Amino acid sequence: MKGFVRILEAVISSIILLAAVSYFFIIEPQYSEWDVALIQTRAEDAMASLDNAGILKTAVSRNDSDMLYTNLSKIFPKSVNFITHIENRVYPVIYVSYIGSDVDRTRIFGSLPIYLKFRNRTITIYVEGATIDNIKEKTNVIFIAGMTNLPSDRAKLEKFLKNGTAVFLFSDLSSNDFAGAKDEILKDVFGLKWSGGSTGATFFYDHNDVNKTSFVIANHFENLTGEDRTHSFTGFTLGSNRIGIDNKTIISGGQSSFVKVNYDVQDGNGRTVWFAKYNFADTDGGNIKSALFASLLWASSERYDFNPQGAAMPPNNVPVYEYKYLVYDQEPYSVNIKIWQVFY
């Protein structure tokens, strides 16, 4: 009996000792990198397969997220989930929140809503009056006519930019605007710098360089109007707007910019456009207006979600793998897919 008790004591002591030691040597679970490689390969194969079958382009051209989601669900195993978004393609419906006078809104946009014929499809633009404090969630572009409240609204505008909403500034600029708080927002948010350079006949800047945004917007202009990208604009005020030229200039005249863009403004998100005011009564006003719409299309097309209603979002504590698939169409764009394991 004494021997049995000693054995029992020894067993209990061993269990206690092992429990105490294991506390200091916790083994972290290791996840195989093969899972990541398989998920990425499956995403590449799925997108290429749907593209070759014509399903991918058809779903995007019809704005049919259900079609893409259903076909991807047939390819992926039940153990993964996914969401998709589109980059650098003009969304078929654009919502603009306009901040400025009603008179200028009518001069700039004309009759509302706006229907643009663009690459064999119709783009609808809705414009609604707003203030910086009542911008609707669905807004793609905040359009500001004039400089009045720009510095005081900076923090709010940067918050919108961070979330992917574009900001469009329509205003003439003088050297007096480049001082203090105005100078800071014009420089940091819109990428503008007063140069004092000469002005002259205005054209799309460096419009043949496919790596520049001027190429994209000039392309949009051609598709909207049928005019050549070498078109000379005559309605801008040449005595002002002596803004420096750089790789983000869209329309230039002499040594000055009249339209400029900026992008990745806040944490890799957010596009801005500065468009110099023009003479609405000028005989070339229609073409400048089309250039404005072309710039607006670019501003709104940074990215948009392409998921059916109620699609699951990735949990915070699960690794998400992202793959970008380039689609070569009349309007090149990318379909980005985020994938994660359901049982992690």
User: Per residue, what are the HEC states of 168-180?
Assistant: EEECCCCHHHCCH
Q: For residue 298, give the H/E element and its range.
A: helix 285-300
- The answer to whether residue 163 sits within a structural domain is yes
Task: Output the pLDDT for position 25.
Answer: 53
CB atoms within 10 A of CB 327: 17
Please check whether residues 219 and 191 belong to one and the same domain: yes
128 and 112 Cβ atoms separated by less than 8 Å: no
Exposure on the CB side of residue 156, measured as CA atoms within 13 A: 11
Please check whether residues 308 and 243 belong to one and the same domain: no
pLDDT at 48 over 70: yes
Structural domain of 309: 33-87+304-341
pLDDT averaged over the chain?
88
Please check whether residues 311 and 216 belong to one and the same domain: no
Task: Output the pLDDT for position 338.
Answer: 92
pLDDT average, residue stretch 104-121: 92
Residue closest to 233 by CA, chosen among 212, 254, 207, 204: 204
Please check whether residues 279 and 308 belong to one and the same domain: no
**Spatial separation of the C-alpha atoms in residues 287 and 299, rounded to whole Å:** 18
pLDDT at 29 over 60: no
Interval 305-335: pLDDT, tens: 899 988 888 888 888 888 999 998 877 899 9
Please check whether residues 57 and 166 belong to one and the same domain: no
Q: How many domains does the chain have?
A: 2
Interval 220-279: pLDDT, tens: 999 999 999 999 999 998 878 999 999 999 999 999 999 999 999 988 889 999 999 999
Please check whether residues 51 and 180 belong to one and the same domain: no
- The answer to whether residue 12 sits within a structural domain is no
Task: Output the pLDDT for position 310.
Answer: 85
- The answer to whether residue 18 sits within a structural domain is no
Instruction: DSSP letter for 194, please.
Output: B
- The answer to whether residue 20 sits within a structural domain is no
Please check whether residues 266 and 160 belong to one and the same domain: yes
Residue for token pair 């490689």: 37
Please check whether residues 74 and 102 belong to one and the same domain: no
Task: Output the pLDDT for position 254.
Answer: 92
Please check whether residues 243 and 272 belong to one and the same domain: yes
- The answer to whether residue 165 sits within a structural domain is yes
How sure is the predictor about 114, in pLDDT bands with cuts at 50, 70 and 90? Answer: very high
pLDDT at 2 over 70: no
- The answer to whether residue 117 sits within a structural domain is yes
- The answer to whether residue 108 sits within a structural domain is yes
Task: Output the pLDDT for position 250.
Answer: 98
Task: Output the pLDDT for position 252.
Answer: 95
Please check whether residues 48 and 155 belong to one and the same domain: no
Please check whether residues 158 and 279 belong to one and the same domain: yes
Quote the crossing angle between the two packed helices 65-75 and 33-52, to the nearest 10°. Answer: 130
How sure is the predictor about 6, in pLDDT bands with cuts at 50, 70 and 90? Answer: low
Interval 141-184: pLDDT, tens: 999 999 888 999 999 999 999 999 999 999 999 999 999 999 99
Please check whether residues 296 and 310 belong to one and the same domain: no
pLDDT at 210 over 60: yes
How sure is the predictor about 113, in pLDDT bands with cuts at 50, 70 and 90? Answer: very high
Task: Output the pLDDT for position 170.
Answer: 97
- Phi, psi at 129, each rounded to 5°: -65, 145
> What CATH number corresponds to the domain at position 271?
3.40.50
- The answer to whether residue 195 sits within a structural domain is yes
